[in-house]
Structure 1
Amino acid sequence: MSKNIYIIGSGFSSLSASCYLAKAGYHVTVLEKNDTLGGRARQFKKDGFTFDIGPSWYWMPDVFERFFNDFGKKSSDFYILDKLNPGYEVYFGKDSSVKISSKLEEIYQLFENEEKGSSKHLKAFLNSAKSNYDTAIKDLVYRPGISPLELVTTKTVARVSQFFSTISKQVRKNIKSQKLIKILEFPVLFLGAKPSDTPAFYNFMNYADFGLGTWHPRGGMYNVVKGMVSLAESLDVVFKTNANVDKIETDASNAIIGLTVNGEKIKTSLVLSGADYHHTETLLDKNVKQYSEKYWSKKTFAPSSLLFYIGFDKKIKNVSHHTLFFDTDFNLHAEEIYDHPKWPTDPLFYANFTSITDKTSAPDGKEAGFFLIPLAPGIEDTEALREKYFHKILDRFEKLTNQEVKKHVLFSKSFCVKDFKKEYNSYKGNAYGMANTLLQTAFLRPNLKSSKVKNLYFTGQLTVPGPGVPPALISGKIVSELIIKNQK
C-alpha cells in the first residue's frame, strides 16, 4: 500500500494526524489554502498588538499532554502554560459579576454564598462530572465512531439515563439561583448546542472547567500551533501554504488517483481532509458524495460568530483575561441561534483581554481586546450589521464595567459569517462545527472514512469526536489509527 498521504488543511486535527502518520512511516504533505498554518487558529498582528483569531480557551490540558507524550515530548518542550486565576469572570448586570477561582474550595464557597446548600449539590455534580470525564476523555472519545457498540461498556450502561436527560435538567434539579445555573450551563456551549439539547453525560465539561482549570499558553494559542508544526517538521512532515485544493480526482472504480491543487494535478492514492467536511465533498464528483445537501441542512450546527479584534490605547478596568457577559436573556439568544435564526435582539457576548496576563500581546499601557457574539450560521452578514453590533456591545460593556472605552479604540477589525466561508470554506459560516447533541454523537456523526471513495478519510470538528481543540487533537489520532489499520 502507498505510504504517501496528502492532508487537506492545517488545523489542529490535521496537525495531529500529520504527526501520528509520519511517526508510523508515512510521507506526509499538508496542503493549506491560506498563507499561514493553523487553520482557524491563526494570528492577527497590528501596531504591536497580537490577537488569536480563532480558539482562545485552553481547557483539558491532559489531552494536550497525552498528544505530546505520544511522541516522547511534553507541552513544555514547545510552550509555557500559565494557569489563570480567576479562570474567568461572569457579568450578570451592572456591578454584578463573579470570578471563577482556580481553586475548587473557593468555587464551593462562591456557590454557598449565592445559594445556601448549593455547594453540597455542586460537589455531587462534580463527582459525577469527573467520573464522566474519566469515562469519556480517557476512553470513549478515542474510538472511531464506526459502530454503536463502541458506546456500550459497563461504565456507559451504568450511565445510560444520562444520555436521555439533559444538562439543563440536571443542573436545575437542585440549583435554583439563575446566576449559578448560567455558570454551570456555560461550559457545554463549547459543544455547540443549547444545554436543553445536550445530554447530561456531557457534564464532564464542568469538570474540565472547575476541576482542571483554565490555562493560557504564553504568546497565545498560536504557540500551540507552532509547537505542533515544529513536532511535525521534526518527523519530516512537509507543509505547503497557499495550496488550494480545487478537486479530488477519482477513477472509474471510485478510488482516489490525485488532487488538483492551484490548477495543477498531483498524483496520490491516499487523502485525509481536515478541511470542512461539506466543502470537501463538493470537491468530489456528485456520484461519490456520501451526504446530500438535504442531510447537511437538517443537522444542528454550532454557532457562527461576530468577532472584533480591538486595540485600546489604555488598560481596561474591571475585567479578567476571559470575561463573559450574561446580563441578557440567555434563552432568547439561544432561540435566535438555533430555533429561529436571526441577528440576536440583545446578545450575550464574551470578551478576552490576553494582555492582562500576557504582556507580549499589547504595547505597554495598552490593551488587546477580543470580543465575540455567538450567531446563527448562515445569516445575512453586512458591514452595516457589524457596525451596529460593535456599538451595541461596547455601549453595554461601558455601562457594565463603569468605564469609557469607545473613545480609546485605536483600531478594530471584524470577522464574521462571510469570513468563515471565505477563509475556511465553512458550511454556512459556522465557527465551531457540528453540535454534540444526542443524535449527533459518535457513530451518528459524519464518518471518518468515506463510504463511497476508496482511501478518502476525514478529520476535524464535523466528524468524530466533535467540536473544540482537544477533540480535534483526538480526531487526528483516531483517524490516523484507522488509516494505518486499513492500509496494512
Structure 2
Amino acid sequence: MNIAGRFAKPRPDPADIRPHAVIIGAGVGGLATGALLGAKGYRVTIVDPLDEPGGRAYAHRQDGFTFDAGPTIITAPWLFENLWRDCGGKLSDDVELRANTPFYRVRFDDGTVFDYSGDRTAMEAQIGLIEPQDVAGYRSFLEESRRIYEVAFEQLAHKPFHSLLFTAKTLAGLVRLGGYRSVYSVVSKHFRSDKLRTLFSFHPLLIGGNPFSATSFYCLIAHLEGKYGVHHAIGGTNALVRGIASLVTRNGGSIRLRETVREIETEGRRATGVRLASGERLSSDIVISNADPATTYGALLKSHPRRRWTDAKLARGDYSMSLFVWYFGTNRRYDDVLHHTMLFGPRYRGLLDDIFRKHRLAEDFSLYLHRPTASDRSLAPPGCDTFYVLSPVPNLASGTDWSEAAERYRQKIEARLHETILPDLSRHIVSSRIATPLDFRERLLSWQGAAFALEPKLFQSAWFRPHNKSEELDNLYLCGAGTHPGAGLPGVVSSARIVADLVPDPARLLAGTWHRQTGETHL
C-alpha cells in the first residue's frame, strides 16, 4: 500500500502571499515543525526523498506485514496532545495511543527476567530478589531522576541554547544537577548490583548515547517513563507520523515526496531557498532543516563559508552508534513475548567500548526485540506475528563491509533469538528484510551512517550541539534528533516547538515583503 498520494498537494497558488517556509526532511521533527508553522500562518513546503513521510519513523509494508522502521517507544504523550491542540485538532480524533504494561521485559544473559514498569511495588519486589540492599537505591535514584527531569526536561528541553548569556545563566543549575557525570556513574551511585546498574543505565542507547559517556541529564528518562508511561500507537508508530502529516496538509501545507534537496541557496547571511536534485529551485523566506546537521552543513551548505560548523569541526565530532535492524514476519504467534523486550548479552561496558570507542563490530551483541502484534494484530496477517530486532553496532567509521557482513550477522541474531525466546524461529519466517548502517547513510542521508547524529555527550549537548537557530545563516533553523534537545520522539517534537517559537512572526515577514516590493525598508 502506497500512501504518498494522500499527502502530496498541488503546487501552491501564486496568489497565496503567506511567507514561505521550506522544510528539508519529512521526519517527525520536520513534520511537527511544518504543522506548527502552518498553524502560525506560514505557507509550508516539506521536501523528502522517500516515498512516504516518516524519515526514521518510516513504515515498511510487505507480505501483509507492517514494520515500523525506527522509533517504537512513545513517551510523554502530552507533547503530541499539545501539538494537535495548537494545530486546531485533537490527537484522539486521528491517532489512538495505548499504554504498555509492563513497559518492557528485560532478559539478562543468564536467563534472569525483569519486567520494567511504573509500578513501584512490583519493581521493588523484583529488585529485592536480585539485591535486597538496592531497593533503597532504587528509591533514591528515582528521586534524583525526578530532580533532573524538573530542570533538564520541564525547564530546558523546550528552550533554545543559541545564546551564550542564556547558557551562562543556566550553567550553575546544570552543574548542580551533575551534568558532567555520566548516566552510568550516577546509576552506580545508587545500585550495587551489576545487573541493576545495567538495567537502570541502558536508556541512553535508545537515543544514540553511550551510558558510560552520555551526560547524566538522561537519567531523567526513568522519571519521565514512570510519570507518563510507555505507549504505542494503534497501526504502528507510523500511524502517528501520518497523523502529523495530516496536520501539515490541513493548514494548506505541501509534502513533496521522492524529491531531494541538493543545496541550500544563500545570499550573504540569508538562505534564499533550496535547489532540488531535479534542478528546480524553491524560494523561501525561511529554511528549516530536519536533516542530520552534519549533512546540512557539510553537504547542503558546502559552498557557503561557515564560521562554526566547518568541515574540520564536523570531522572531529563524535557521532552516535548505528543500528542493524532485521524485520521479519512469522506464520505463527509467540504469545509469551511482550511488545518490547530487551535481551542483554554477556558484556556491557566491553561491548559499548567496541561500539563507541573502538568502532569494532563485536561477535556478541545486545538486542531490542519489537513485537507490536502483541498489542495490535492488524499489523500482521491472521495467526502471524510482526517483529523487528535491533542491534546497536558501530557507525561506518568501523570500516565494516556490510554488503558482506550483513547476512552472517543476521544469522547469528536469528540463532540467538531461537535459543532464548523464539523457539524454532527459522521454520516460521515468511517475510524478511534488513537495514544496516549503509541504509542510514544512503537512504536517510545520515553522516557516517550514525543513527542519531552527534552522540549526546556533555560537550555535544545544549549550547555545544548545533543550534536550533543556525549560527551560519540568519534565517536557517534546525529541528530533529541532531539539534537541541536531542533524539527520541519527545526530543524531536520539542525541537519543532523551539523552532516555531524562534521563527519571525509571519505577519511581520509579510509586511516586510510588501515594504521591499514597494521600495521601502521598514523591516
Q: TM class by shorter-chain length?
A: over 0.9
Query: How many Å separate the matches in 1 of 2:64 and 2:118?
Result: 30
Displacement, 1:65? 2.6
Counterpart for residue 11 of structure 1: 27
Distance 2:81 2:294 in 1: 31
| Counterpart for residue 284 of structure 1 | 301
2:186 match: 170
Q: CA shift at 1:410, angstroms?
A: 1.1
Q: Offset of 1:171 from its aligned partner?
A: 1.3
How many residue pairs end up in the alignment? Answer: 487
Bigger Cα displacement from structure 2, 423-432 vs 112-121: 112-121
1:406 aligned onto 2:421: no
Q: Mapping of 1:267-346 within 5 angstroms?
A: 267-281=283-297, 282-289=299-306, 290-316=308-334, 318-346=336-364
Deviation per CA, 1:193-239, whole angstroms, max 9, x where unpaired?
A: 22221232321111123333211111100011111111222221111
Question: Structure 1 residue 96 and structure 2 residue 112: aligned?
Answer: yes
Q: 1:3 to 1:352 in 2, by over 3 A?
A: same
Give deviations 1:96-121, integer Å, cap 9, x for gaps. 22222342221122112221132222
Distance change in 2, residues 1:310/1:254 (3 Å): same
Aligned with 1:163: secondary structure?
coil
Q: Counterpart in 1 of 2:3? A: none
Separation of aligned partners in 1, 2:215 and 2:273: 41
Q: 1:228 aligns with which of 232, 241, 244?
A: 244
Provide the rounded CA distance (Å) in 1 between the counterparts of 2:81 and 2:128: 34
The residue that corresponds to 1:181 in the other structure is 197
Alignment of 1:462 onto 2:482: yes
1:448 paired residue number:
468
Structure-2 separation of matches of 1:302 and 1:7:
24
Q: 1:259: which partner in 2?
A: 274
Cα drift, residue 459 of structure 1:
1.5
Structure 2 distance, partners of 1:152, 1:291, is: 21
Runs (4 or more) in structure 1 with deviation over 4 Å come to: 151-156, 485-488
Name the amino acid aligned to 2:301.
L
Partners of 1:476 and 1:72 lie apart in 2 by 17
Q: Is the 8 A contact 1:48 1:363 kept in 2?
A: yes
Relative to structure 2, which stretch is displaced further, 413-422 or 157-166?
Answer: 157-166
> Which whole-Å CA distance do the structure 1 matches of 2:464 and 2:451 have between them?
21
Structure 2 unmatched ranges of 5 or more:
1-16, 510-523
CA distance in 2, matches of 1:201, 1:382: 34
Contact 2:148 2:177 in 1 (8 A): no
SS in structure 2 opposite 1:332? helix
Contact 2:22–2:288 under 8 Å retained in 1: yes
Aligned to 2:521: none
Deviations 1:352-400 (A, max 9, x none): 1111111111112211110111111113242331111111111112212
Pair 1:178–1:393, CA change in 2 (3 A): same
Separation in structure 1 between the aligned mates of residue 88 and residue 80 of structure 2, nearest angstrom: 13
Unpaired runs of 5+ in structure 1? none
How do 1:428-439 and structure 2 match up within 5 A?
428-439=448-459
Q: Distance in 2 between matches of 1:407 and 1:250?
A: 56
Task: Report if the CA contact (8 A) 2:326-2:389 is conserved.
Answer: yes
Question: Aligned partners of 2:261, 2:422: CA distance in 1, in Å?
Answer: 49
- The Cα of 1:148 is off from its aligned counterpart by 4.0
SS in structure 1 of the partner of residue 56 of structure 2: coil
Contact map agreement 1:19 1:231 (CA 8 A) in 2: yes
Decide whether aligned partners of structure 1 residues 168 and 258 sit closer, same or farther in structure 2, where only a CA change above 3 A counts.
Answer: closer
Q: Which residue of 2 aligns with 1:44?
A: 60
Which has the higher mean CA deviation after the structures are superposed, 448-457 or 236-245?
448-457
Aligned identity (percent) is 27
Aligned counterpart for 1:122 among listed residues 98, 121, 138: 138
Give the structure 1 partner of residue 5 of structure 2. none
- Secondary structure of the 2:503 match is helix
- 2:381 corresponds in structure 1 to 363
Which shifted more, 300-309 or 373-382? 373-382
Q: Output one character per residue of 1:297-316: Cα deviation in whole Å (capped at 9) or x when no partner.
A: 22222211011110111112
1:243-300 C-alpha deviation (Å, 9 max, x unpaired): 211222223x343333222222233342111112222221225343342232122222
CA–CA separation in structure 2 for the residues paired with 1:231 and 1:447: 26
2-structure distance, mates of 1:95, 1:481: 49
User: Judging changes above 3 Å, is the alpha-carbon distance between structure 1 residues 333 and 474 closer, same or farther for their aligned structure 2 residues?
Assistant: same
Q: TM-score, normalised by structure 2?
A: 0.88
Distance in 2 between residues matched to 1:36 and 1:250, nearest whole Å: 28
In structure 2, the CA distance between the partners of 1:82 and 1:156, relative to structure 1 (3 Å rule), is: farther
